[in-house]
Amino acid sequence: MKQDRTILCADVGGTKIKAALVNEKGQVEDFREISTEAHLGGPHVMLNLRKILSTYKGYEAIGISTAGQVDSEKGEILYANENIPRYTGTKVKVMLEEAFQVPVKVENDVNAAALGEAYFGAGSEAKDLLMLTYGTGVGGALLFGKEVYKGRDGIAGEFGHMVIHPEGALCNCGQKGCYEVFASTTALVRNAKALDEHLTDGKEIFKAIHEGREDVRGLLEAWAKEVSYGLVNLIHIFNPSLILLGGGLLEQPLAFELIEKETRKRTMESFQKVVLKNASLGNQAGLLGAASLHLK
Ligand SMILES: [Zn+2]
């Protein structure tokens, strides 16, 4: 890694654009954020991105972590869903290099978060790792030797769309029974709401469990089992050293414990050396991963 470098980083999410200066030690300074205003579309999001980036000085390159499928060679958005209309096709790298006159690199947010963890977080000791993030859907990334495995089109790692229950409910992607339909945070909250309309998020769910609600704990256990199905498949395919689990729910020790127990129960003896860990960088993982694009 080259020394004494400062990278201006931004993480473009559906709600916020976060930005900061990151140095080669992974120290984050001058953290700022603004609303993405994603509903106003890709060109407007790029305006907001340029606006926040232009408030910084004293950097030699820009790293961008962004929602959507990214061609990281060209620094373009291959595909973004309706959360950011007209973002598909945006030439992020070219536009920002023209505006700021420094080298720009762009990576998908899930891959960037995994890179952040691999360089500066819970994965810094591992030579290979898988990372899964449980939220609205299930995001996935594969890293071999701290490089993202991209696949033919740069979009490998859609673990959320492994088919786990072929006869199951419809997924956003058009198929039935995808992993994320059962294992996302959304899935757990949906089931909890059906049980009790007051259980509208993870916080309420864990509050109910800590108050002794056995029925709610049962839902969490069923969800952990769904999470384990995907992990067991991945463990048997990749024989990974490390699997990092991210997302708000996973910060609850009980959730992590149940998932690990269910996963080990279904994993072949010879694959048990895999380590399961919480991702450690929280919502700074994307920024740090964006920095690593230039620091490696
Ligand atoms: Zn799907």
CA 115 to CA 142: how far, in whole Å? Answer: 10
* Cα–Cα distance, 45 to 153 (Å, whole number): 24
Question: In the chain, what is the straight-line distance between the N-terminal and C-terminal CA atoms, in Å?
Answer: 5
For 22, the token pair is 């990151």
Pairing of strands 128-134, 242-246: parallel
Task: For residue 82, give both structure tokens.
Answer: 């309706």
Q: Classify residue 283 by its DSSP letter.
A: G
Q: Which two tokens stand for residue 257?
A: 């414990």
What pLDDT shows up at residue 3? 55
181: closest CA among 197, 167, 194?
167
Ligand 1 center to residue 223 CA distance, Å? Answer: 17
Q: How many whole angstroms separate alpha carbon 206 and alpha carbon 204? A: 6
Residue 31 DSSP SS3? strand
Q: What is the pLDDT of residues 129-185, one digit of tens each?
A: 999 999 989 999 999 999 999 999 888 999 999 999 999 999 989 999 999 999 999
| CA 175 to ligand 1 centroid distance, Å | 5
Q: Which helix (H) or strand (E) holds 7?
A: strand 6-12
Distance 173 CA to ligand 1 centre (A): 4
Look up residue 126 and give its amino acid.
A
- Taking 70 as the pLDDT cut, the residues of the chain under it are 1-3
Q: In the block, which residue shows the tokens 């992590």?
A: 256
Q: What's the CA gap between 267 and 38, in Å, rounded?
A: 41
> Where does residue 77 rank: exposed (0-12), middle (13-18), buried (19+ CB within 10 A)?
buried
Alpha-carbon torsion angle 164, 167, 169, 174, nearest 10: 80
Please tell me the distance between residue 98's alpha carbon and the centre of ligand 1 in angstroms.
Answer: 37
Ligand 1 centroid to residue 155 C-alpha, Å: 14
Model confidence pLDDT, tens digit, residues 264-294: 999 999 999 999 999 999 989 999 999 999 9
What are the φ and ψ backbone dihedral angles of 75, each rounded to 5 degrees? 70, 40
**Distance from Cα 52 to the centre of ligand 1, integer Å:** 34
Q: Output the CA 81–ligand 1 centroid distance in Å.
A: 13
Q: Supply angle C-alpha 47, 61, 117, rounded to 5.
A: 95
Q: What does the pLDDT read at residue 81?
A: 86
How far is ligand 1, taken at its centre, from the CA of residue 72, in Å?
Answer: 23
C-alpha of residue 178 to centroid of ligand 1, in Å: 5
Domains in the chain (CATH in brackets) are 6-114+284-295 (3.30.420.40), 125-279 (3.30.420.40)
pLDDT at 245: 97
**Distance (Å) from CA 289 to ligand 1 centroid:** 26
Nearest Cα to 134, choosing from 10, 243, 19, 291?
243
What is residue 82's predicted lDDT score, i.e. its pLDDT?
A: 85
CA atoms within 13 A on the CB side of 262: 19
Centre of ligand 1 from the C-alpha of residue 158, in Å: 9
* E strands in 72-204: 76-79, 104-108, 128-134, 138-144, 147-148
Between the CA of 64 and the centroid of ligand 1 the distance, in Å, is 26
How far, in Å, is the centroid of ligand 1 from the Cα of 157?
13
Rounded CA-CA distance 264/272 in Å is: 7
> For the complex shown, is ipTM > 0.85?
yes
